[in-house]
Amino acid sequence: MPSLDKSLVAGLPMFAGFPASDLDEILREAQPIRYPKGTAVFQQDEEAQSFFILLHGHLRVIKVTSDGQQVVVRFVTPGEIFGIAMAMGCATYPATALAIVDSIALVWPAVVWPRLVAKHPSLAVNTLQTMGGRLQDAHTRVVEISTEQVEKRVAHALLRLARQAGRQVEQGVQIDFPISRQDIAEMTGTTLHTVSRILSSWEEQGLVTGGRQRITVRDPHKLFLLAES
């Protein structure tokens, strides 16, 4: 297989400061794989045989609890490393990653992870920083669900998504991937009915617009004030 172009990843935070020769060596172990919309990159509890960096598209990461409830854990955007179960000492994937649009990822065999991080310690450091950021986000969401009213939780969720994957459009900041009201309900620990009522009220107030699984934050400042009030 021909070597991958290192320009695909050279600008990613995961490989910040890496010499070109190191990138060539790391990419030699990877292959690009396309995941059509609606397909699973991996399934919860499946043996963790690979780890990934998303090059194009968006993924939804979901976890099914022991009593059958589905929770949206997070969304993966281009440039992110994911599926790093081995780095966390896990033999299986703790959640399912689904392509919500046609997506492309670089895929490495999990067995090369120990060798890569031993030879390139910065890879381990950068991965640890990424995991730390996700852990902090998870802590924030736990505190919100435990202490905040639903309206504030939904406002915080939309603001986070706008920061993570927002695209400036004429009407405001559009969350640049398909997201449903059910997704937001699962992210914030509430019901579809409640999220629909809140978003409909915000649409009337001019805070957001929605439709066809697209949400645009029309007034981020007012939404921020609502979240922090």
Residues 162, 102 share a domain? no
Residues 72, 185 share a domain? no
Domain with residue 110: its CATH number is: 2.60.120.10
- Residue 218 is given by DSSP the state S
What is the DSSP annotation of 182-205? HHHHHHHTS-HHHHHHHHHHHHHH
Q: What is the pLDDT of residues 162-181, one digit of tens each?
A: 998 889 998 899 998 999 99
Residues 154, 100 share a domain? no
Residues 153, 132 share a domain? no
Position 25 scores a pLDDT of: 87
How many C-beta atoms surround the C-beta of residue 139 within 10 A? 10
Residues 128, 17 share a domain? yes
Residues 221, 128 share a domain? no
Q: What is the pLDDT of residues 90-143, one digit of tens each?
A: 899 999 999 999 999 999 999 999 999 999 888 888 888 888 888 888 888 888
Residues 136, 188 share a domain? no
In a domain, 1, yes or no: no
Q: For the CA atoms of 131, 132, 137, 139, what is the dihedral angle to 10 degrees?
A: 120
On whether the CB atoms of residues 157 and 187 are closer than 8 A, the answer is yes
Order of all β-strands in the sheet with 59-64: 40-42, 96-99, 59-64, 70-76
User: Is the model's pTM score more than 0.75?
Assistant: yes
Domain with residue 153: its CATH number is: 1.10.10.10
Short-list 56, 49, 48, CA closest to 12: 56
Short-list 54, 115, 126, 55, CA closest to 83: 54
What is the DSSP annotation of 104-148? EEEEEEGGGHHHHHHH-HHHHHHHHHHHHHHHHHHHHHHHHHHHS
Residues 52, 34 share a domain? yes
Residues 136, 152 share a domain? no
Residues 209, 191 share a domain? yes
Distance CA 32, CA 143 (A): 38
Q: How are beta strands 166-169 and 208-211 bridged, if at all? A: unpaired
Parent domain of 113: 6-140
Helix, strand, coil shares of the chain as percentages rounded to 5? Answer: 45, 25, 30
Averaged pLDDT of the chain:
90
E strand or H helix at 224: helix 220-228
Residues 117, 39 share a domain? yes
Confidence check: pLDDT of 1 > 50: no
73 is written with which tokens? Answer: 């854990």
Residues 106, 53 share a domain? yes
